[in-house]
Every structure is written in structure tokens, then in C-alpha cells.
Structure 1
Amino acid sequence: MTDKKRFLKAGALAGALLLNSTLPAHSQIDYQSWLENFRQKAAQSGISKKTLDGTLTGLTPNKRVLELDRRQPEFSLTFWKYLNNSISDKRIKRGRELLKKHAGLFKKVHEKYGVQPRFLVAFWGLETNFGDYTGVFPLIQSLTTLAHDERRREFFTKQLITALEVMDRGDIPYDVKASWAGAMGYCQFMPTTYKAYAVDGDGDNKRDMWNSLPDVFYSAANFLSQSGWQPGETWGREVKIPKNLNLDLTGLGTKKQIGDWAKLGILNIDGKALPKADIKASLILPSGYKGPAFLVYENFRTILDWNRSNFYAIAVGHLADRLVWKGPLQSPQRKETPLSRAQTLKIQARLNALGYDVGKPDGIAGSRTRKGIKAFQKKNNIPADGYPNAELLGLLK
């Protein structure tokens, strides 16, 4: 599903409000003034006075939310640290037990949507540890804090107005708790995802993402199915790459048939030939050319629609594999020191100074920063994997 289609699904009301309420990036308008302006626009767009009074009264910004936004684990941890934090023997054991316990429900969901049960349990485990931690932050306070903040104002303004819409319809209570970023329920749906994809799986005319497992899993599978999930296919596989591989071929921007990757010397992680299958794949290096390598398929891209982090998508796929008794990753775990936000800021500032436009430095190594790193590496005859680390920082200095 394209970003354009997904935006249209979010609703015309959210789009209309964005045009009126999104402030210029340089604006330093204070929170209370911004909130009053937002409230007026929300009222003009059709949100009832009852809902606005019940949600936007007495609010103050939550500084903790902003702190957490600046140091998300996908950006602040190394690959192996992130993976080891996400996938433990305890989580695997519990996931297998739940997969068996709710087999009947998962079978029905699989038959309807084509999403394999092991992936649904993997999402459930990674998002909330199987429902143990659904969030303690008041939803509207978090969303107003992030919508007022400049970093991702447009995205969170859309989430905020959508949350008010579904509250106005009575779908969720005003005082609902969520993650710091506004993700809700057992599988942590954002408000726009809830509005577009949540399903009444148990037939009680509610879409309850906290107390009804049928609602949770029918909704999760509905989202994945409509986002392009390929029934019968897996997410990817760990592979070995030859030392002379052209690293320009790495990244999600390149797709090749598995047979074409095999011709370039790519092998399965056990040293055997890749399977013969009519599937296109991309080659990703989540911790640079010295770390593990993965061929990833279309379902990997669909997982990214849930969370735009390669670390996260690999963790979902690998946990799903472990739940059905596949083994751990085989690449050796290298010890790495994660970059601090200040160090990433230095990398971005230095790249900009050298003419590699990576945008305004924000301390988060996103796709634009990695593209700039890759260009710098190529120009200086360094393996161009686009990976930010302490060695790169030293070279830039």
C-alpha cells in the first residue's frame, strides 16, 4: 500500500485540519497558545464541544514524552543490543505457549486474512510483551506534546485529530492510556491505524484493542493484509555475502530475484545455496558490512508499515521464526558502542559542512543521513554501507 493511499485512508477531516493548524517549522509559539489555536480549528472541523472539553482542558506538555522521542531504541542501540533486548528465551517460551493456547482463534484469523499465526504472536510479544505493558501515558497529553513539538508536527497533528474523532464517536474513552508516542492496546495501534483497520472480531459491536483477543488479532491481520502481506511467504533470511560484493546493491531501494542474488555469490547463512524461488528480495546490512546480512522479502516491507525500523522488522521476523523452532542467528555478535545523540549530531553537521546534504541535524540517523554517509564513503574509497559508527565519526573529524 502506498503512502498516498494510506494518507487518504486517514480521513479528509485530518487533512483539512492539518492545512489550517500546522505551524511553520521555525515557529516557537508556546504550548498553551498553540493548544487554543488547535482547539478552535478542531471545533470548526466538527469535533464536539463535549469531547474538546473532556480531552483538551487543563493540559500541560509532557517533557518525558519528548525525552523518549529523542532516544528511541531503534536509533540509540546497536543491532545486537536491540535484538537481544527484544528476543529472550523467556519471551520465546511464552510466545510458543500462547501460540498453542489460542490456536483456534489464530486459525480463523489466518483463514480470513492469510497472515501466519507466528507473526501475529511476534508483534504481540514485541509491542507489549503479550499485553503486559500497553502504556501508562495519557493519550491526548502525549499527542498534544508531540504535535506542538517541531520534529514530527505534521504526523502527530494527524494522530491527534484522529484520536479526537474516534473519541467523539465513542470508540475509546477520553482518559485512555497509551505509549509515550500514542500507540494503543495490545498491538499498539496509532489512532489513524485504529480508525482505518481496527475490526470487531468477536461481534459485540466494539473494537476493543485492550480486552478482546479476537478484536486484537483480526485487526492486526486486517492491517497487515491491506498493507500488502503475502500469504504463504516468510519475511527474509540470514545470508552470507562475498567480500567483493558491490555495496551499492544493498538497501531496500534494490530488488532482485533470489536467483540473481545467488549469481552474485550470496549464500544461505549455513553456506548452502539459496533456495530456488520466484521471489524478489533486497539485501540489508543493519549494522554495516561487518555485521549480519539479510535478504528480505515483501512481507518485511509490510512489517515496516507497522514500524519504520529495520531493527524492528528483523526482530519481528526472527521472533516469529523462533516461535516455530527455527534456530538463532548464526552471524557472530560483535561488540559495538552505540553512538550518542551528540555524536550523531556531529556526524550530520560534518557531512553538511562537507557538502553532503543530510538536512537539519537532529541526532537521529535516518535514511537521509545514511545516504549522505554512503556518498562520503564512496568518495573516500571506504566500503559504502551507510552505517554510522565511531570509526566514521573519527574519519569525518
Structure 2
Amino acid sequence: MISRRFPAWSLLCAALLPFHADAQESFARCLEELRGMAATHDIAPPTFEQHVARLEPDMAVIGLLDYQPEFRTPIWDYLAGLVDDERVADGRAMAVQWAGTLQDIEARYGVDPATVVAVWGVESNFGRNFGKRPLLVSLATLSCFGRRQDYFRGEFFTALKIIEDGDIAAQHLAGSWAGAFGHTQFMPSTFRRVAVDFDGDGRRDLIDSIPDALASTANFLRKAGWQTGRPWGFEVALPPDFDAGLAGRRNKRPLSEWVALGVRRADGSAIEPGAEAAGLLLPAGERGPAFLVLRNFDALYSYNAAESYALAIAHLSDRLRGGEPFRASWPTDDPGLSRVERREVQTLLSQLGYDAGEADGALGARSRAAVQQFQRGQGLEPDGRAGRQVLELLRKAYAER
């Protein structure tokens, strides 16, 4: 739930630091500095000694420090993998399984079940993908190397406080490289600020308690300004020669003004004019789908500070309610792939002799390298991207082998 960018120097640091003779010594000096700061963060010395003194750095996280797919992946790839038929079906099943809890959460926090389940699905695939990195290792490393060290030191000490308070045991506190954890991937400071004990066991636990995780998510959105019973926004169609310079999530104007400018819902129906403020979102430019986004979209945006992320949550929540895919097409001749199709890409690559790794639909570094090798063999630009064209070529190559 933080924003990250990815300049080339971060990759270089990731490659060199593990082999640098002074890296371990630098980390040890940094831990001494953190030890001296612990008391000012209300961390008892025994807690620090027990959980920190013998940590080893994980320098791989430095290379990930500025990387976030929300900012690098084409929007049609990003959404194709996050909002596919598989996740919609899983989300609907989870909404049924946890219906009573979700109803109680809505009654207390005013956030509807579909929105809460959508966050759950995007953040951890309904608890299947928490992340496996020990939080203290990642946060200690980020507190000592790279940029934003002050920020990560705050998260590091907050993670220690979570352990000290007894909410989550240290051995269970694992998650993403950046320190997010649990079913709905809270950073430690977010946990301390808004997590709730919804199951009544005396602990706030986003890892082993689904009720706590879902209720904490609803509490986050409520505090972010969620308006009960209001939509996040809706897809629209723009009139010919529309001035795209009016777009922008923050460039809000009353719905009545958008109506006067000729904006209509994507299904052709009129927008009910009113004073409610909306911004026009054009995530792929004026040739792609367009959306008027309202206050609840901003609440979703605050969860991860990326418009593509908020749109994924918003769209998945609509699909969970029975809504249809977007009406407008993305401006590309090579659409993105669902997770089923991404697993097919990985399987075909492996069957053709490429090292694509596990067929998990994630298309990580090994899969991208395998795609690059295949692309070179096909005379294509080896960008490592697996879209519809690569999938079709793989199917053809497998059939002809």
C-alpha cells in the first residue's frame, strides 16, 4: 500500500550490494543505530534484542524499492490479470461464504460487501498470496539501505510494536518485500492506526483472522471518506472532439457540468445531473475507456495511491455485483491475458523447452526471461511481455513441434 518507482540505479544496487564486502558491516552499524533509537519509539530493549539483534539483510528488496506494477504495466495487462473470470467467481464464492460477517461489517462501517471482497481479492487473492518475506528482515534492510529510510524506520519500529503488543507473533509476521502483510496487506503503521478486533478474541490479527482483516479494511475506507450507498463512479462515453485536457481525477466539476459537455454513460443513458463532484479518468488516454469517478474512488485510491489500482478494485466490485466488463476497448492490438491464459503461456514455454518457472500465472522474472528467449526466436522485439500475440504464437509453435 505504498507507491514505488524503479530507476536503473536501483537494479544496479540490487546486483552489487549482496557482493559488496562492506554490506554486512554497514548493516551491523545500522542495527546499532536502530538499537539506540528503539527507546524513543517505545520499544523495550528485550524486544529489540530478541527479534532484531541477529537479523541478516535481504538485499533483494533494494532492487524492488521503486518498482510498482501499477505504474509500469500497461493498464490492459494490469486489469486483465486482476479482474478476470476466475477472480470474479472466487470473489462471489467468498462473498457467500462470509456473508454474515460482511453484513455485520457493513452495518458497523458502512462499506458494502462487494467492495471489501474486491480489496481482499486484489490484495492477496483471498488469502492465497500473503507474501513470504519476514517483515522485520525486509523493513530492517530498507531502514538501512536505499532511499526513504526514515519512512521504513518508522514502519520497522511499528512492526516491533505490533509484536510487543501481542497482536501478531513475530514468526507469523511475513508479507511483501515492502512490509505489507495479511489478507488485505496493511503496512504496520496502517495496522496500528485502523486495524480492529472484529472477532472479539482480544487481538487485531490480519493474518489468521479473516473477520479482523475484512473489518479493518472497511474501517480504513470509512476513515478515508467512504460514502455509504454511493457508487465509486461509472464508465462514460465522450462526445466527438471532447477536450481531453479536462480529464484528471482531481480536476473535479459537478456532474451537471459533465452532462452539459455531452458526457453520457457508456450504455448511452443520460447521467442524472447534480452538484456531486466528479473527475474524468482516462487511464489509457482519450482513445480508451473513460470514467467519471466520485468520492468513493478517492477512498479506494488512498489504499495504494495508484489510479490503476483503484480502478481494479472498483471494477472488480462491480463485477462481483453482476456488472459487465467495460464497454469500450483498450487502445491496443495486443490485449492482456487472464491468469488462466498466463498459466497457459508458462506451460507452453516449459513444454517447448524454456525455463518459465512454476505455472502460477504470475509471470515473474523467470517467465519474462523465457518469453524474451521465445520472442528472439520468433524475430520479435524481446520485451518479455506476454500478451495475446505471444500466446497465439506459442500455441502455434507447440502445435507444429
- TM-score of the superposition, structure 2-length normalised? 0.73
Residue 104 (str. 1) matches residue 100 (str. 2): yes
1:201 aligns with 2:198: yes
Correspondence list, 1:1-397, <5 A? 30-175=26-171, 176-335=173-332
| TM-score, normalised via structure 1 length | 0.74
- In 2 relative to 1, CA 164–270 (structure 1 residues): closer, same or farther, beyond 3 Å? same
Which amino acid in structure 1 is aligned with residue 127 of structure 2?
Answer: G
Superposed CA offset, 1:280-312 (max 9, x none)? 111111122222211111111111111111010
Q: How many pairs were matched up?
A: 311
Using the TM superposition, give the Cα deviation of residue 209 of structure 1 relative to its aligned residue in structure 2, in angstroms. 1.1
Structure 2 CA distance for partners of 1:61 and 1:337, relative to 1, 3 Å: farther
Assess if the C-alpha contact under 8 Å between 1:62 and 1:142 holds in 2: yes
Secondary structure of 1:69 counterpart: coil
Deviation at 1:155, TM superposition (A): 2.4
> Aligned Cα RMSD in Å?
2.0
**SS of aligned partner of 2:108:** helix
Separation in 2 of the partners of 1:112 and 1:91?
A: 26
Tell which deviates more after alignment, 237-246 or 222-231.
Answer: 237-246
How much has 1:181 moved relative to structure 2? 1.2
Native 8 Å contact 1:78 1:337 kept in 2: no
Identity rate, percent: 39
Structure 2's unaligned 5+ residue stretches are 1-22, 336-401
Whichever residue aligns with residue 269 of structure 1, its letter is A
Judge conservation of contact 2:102–2:113 (CA < 8 Å) in 1: yes
Give, as a single letter, the amino acid of the residue that structure 2 aligns with 1:126: V
Contact 2:238/2:264, CA 8 A, preserved across alignment: yes
> For residues 243 and 154 of structure 1, what CA distance do their matches in structure 2 show?
49
Indicate conservation of the 8 Å contact 2:47/2:160, yes or no: yes
Q: Tell me, which stretches of 5 or more residues in structure 1 are unaligned?
A: 1-27, 339-397
C-alpha separation in 1, matches of 2:129 and 2:157: 25
Alpha-carbon spacing, 1:105–1:44, altered in 2? closer, same or farther (3 Å):
closer
AA matched with 1:313: A
Partner Cα separation in structure 1 for residue 288 and residue 27 of structure 2: 44
